[in-house]
Amino acid sequence: MKKHLKIKLLLTLSVLILFISSWTSENKKTNKTNGSSVNILTEDEVCFVRDVLPIFQENCALSGCHNSESRKEGIVLDSYENIMASKKGRAIIPYNLKRSKVYKKITEDTKDDRMPPPPNESLTGGEISIIGKWIMEGAPNSNCAVDMKDSGKEKTESDPPVIPETSSGNCDTLGLIYSDIQPILEKNCYKCHSGNSPDELFNLETYSQVKQKGDEGKLFGAINHLPGFKPMPRKSPKLSGCDLEKFNAWINAGMKE
């Protein structure tokens, strides 16, 4: 009798363990597929396959530059594995913009030093922001499945990289133009970056001056207090919630005038 009871208990326990194991695997947020993570992300998170890789492939992994054949300066930017292995792992360093050699090159001030080099166009401020955000999220090899409810279609890997504009709470971040951002600049930045002798020798009083710093990626890094950038406003907390949301949304949307 006792022997039969033990067998029943063991069988019950085995079934319970199998059920829990199956439920856990089905409900994981990431599953391994072809060496990359299939992540269920919120729409404000950056996905490597969808958002980051197309930027590198279209602007950097070209003949004579950073494809598998040319390997200029020992950097190959045509796949996640090659990107992370380039420069002995120093091309991209997760959570560290200042030490990531690729990020330093795409944000260089001088045209001769920056990547992509002339006569190629430099990356846009939005593209630089995407790469910087991906690095600060840990540079994961994420292959995302995001339900694009607003667009009415599923986001595919061939779609252009974008951080969607969002509106949270009472902060309207949709369709912003420069006139929406100028009051934020005047309130928080003009004290240092205006007049004939601005701090750091750059002025933020006009659209063209602001867009230049946005295109370099420095504006995004500074207002978000990212490592490797001088935080703005200086010796002050970050911009207030809605002001920061608006500024980031405007940069990510291409800094429309």
- Give the tens place of pLDDT for each residue, 77-91: 989 999 998 887 788
Does one domain contain both 110 and 186?
no
Q: How far out from the chain centre does Cα 198 lie?
A: 30
pLDDT at position 10 is 60
Residue 15 pLDDT level (bands cut at 50, 70, 90): low
Mean pLDDT across 207-226: 81
Query: How many folded domains does the chain comprise?
Result: 2
Residue 247 pLDDT level (bands cut at 50, 70, 90): confident
Q: Is the pLDDT of residue 129 over 50?
A: yes
DSSP 43-84: TTS--IIIIIHHHHHHHTSSTTTTSTTT-GGG---SSHHHHH
Evaluate whether residue 172 is within a structural domain: no
pLDDT at position 177 is 92
pLDDT at position 27 is 41
Between residues 95 and 44, the one the model is more confident about: 95
| pTM strictly above 0.95 | no
Evaluate whether residue 160 is within a structural domain: no
Does one domain contain both 50 and 127?
yes
Domain that holds residue 61: 38-136
Does one domain contain both 130 and 44?
yes
Q: Is the pLDDT of residue 97 over 90?
A: no
Q: Is the pLDDT of residue 36 over 80?
A: no
pLDDT at position 30 is 39
Mean pLDDT across 61-74: 84
Evaluate whether residue 101 is within a structural domain: yes
Between residues 54 and 26, the one the model is more confident about: 54
Does one domain contain both 65 and 123?
yes
Evaluate whether residue 201 is within a structural domain: yes
Q: Note the pLDDT tens digit of each residue in 167-210.
A: 445 788 888 999 998 998 888 888 888 777 766 667 788 898 88
CA atoms within 13 A on the CB side of 213: 21
Q: Is the pLDDT of residue 257 over 70?
A: yes
**How large a percentage of the chain has pLDDT more than 70?**
71
Structure tokens at 116: 């992509």
Last residue of a domain, one of 136, 169, 196: 136
Q: Choose among 28, 31, 35, 36: nearest CA to 142.
A: 36
Does one domain contain both 195 and 125?
no
Last residue of a domain, one of 136, 167, 186: 136
Evaluate whether residue 197 is within a structural domain: yes
pLDDT at position 56 is 92
Last residue of a domain, one of 104, 136, 168: 136
Does one domain contain both 122 and 193?
no
pLDDT at position 77 is 92
Mean pLDDT across 107-132: 85
Q: How far out from the chain centre does Cα 20 lie?
A: 35
